[in-house]
Amino acid sequence: MPRIASAPKDKLDPIWKALADPTRRSILDLLRDRPRTTTEIVDAFPHLTRFGVMKHLDALREADLVHTREEGRQRVNSLNVFPIRQIYERWVSPFQEVWSSHLLWIKELAEQEDSESGTNSRKKKKVRPLNLQR
């Protein structure tokens, strides 16, 4: 398992893995509406077998995106949005800053190129406002 050794084990990794599959995201969308029993979820994906759907449910449970409680012989699965919140705090929120500074850079670049029009800028080294050299 070289990949696990490669990157530092991310705590959010199971969440990303779970969200990477379109079927699993569909299940989450389904549960967003209201909780569903396992059979209800299985029936919602007629092109997959029971086992296939349940494997996806396992992945979602491991990422804590889905909570399951027993109700007689049924299992009721419900959405837990907390991990999505974590993804947001770790990944969206910190990138908002870059988001705005990136827009700023585009603006500056556009103005720069505007004042340079006519010259052969293909070979020219255009240095970004951010530090690039080692």
Which of the choices a copy of itself, DNA, none does residue 51 contact, using the CB cut-off of 5 to 8 A by kind? DNA
What stretch of H or E contains 36?
A: strand 36-37
Which CB, 38 or 45, lies closer to a copy of itself? 45
Query: Would you say 28 and 63 are in contact if contact means Cβ atoms under 8 Å apart?
Result: no
Which CB, 25 or 61, lies closer to a copy of itself? 25
Q: Can you give the binding site for DNA, defined by CB under 7 A?
A: 1-3, 6, 17, 20-21, 23, 37-40, 42, 47-52, 54-56, 59, 68, 72-75, 123
64 — phi, psi (to 5°)?
65, 20
Q: Counting every residue, how long is the chain?
A: 134
What x/- string results for residues 50 through 69 when contact with a copy of itself is judged by CB under 8 A? --------------------
> In angstroms, what is the minimal distance from the CB of 84 to DNA?
18
* Pairing between β-strand 36-37 and β-strand 66-71 as defined by DSSP bridges: unpaired
In order, the DSSP letters of 50-84 are HHHHHHHHHHHHHTTSEEEEEETTEEEEEE--HHH
Query: Which of 115-122's residues contact partners 24+ apart within 8 Å by CB, and which partners?
Result: none
Provide the binding-site residues for a copy of itself, judged by CB under 8 A. Answer: 2-3, 5-10, 13, 16-17, 19-23, 25-26, 32, 34-35, 40, 45, 47-48, 71-72, 76, 78-82, 84-85, 87-88, 91-92, 94-95, 98-99, 102, 123, 125-126, 128, 130-132, 134
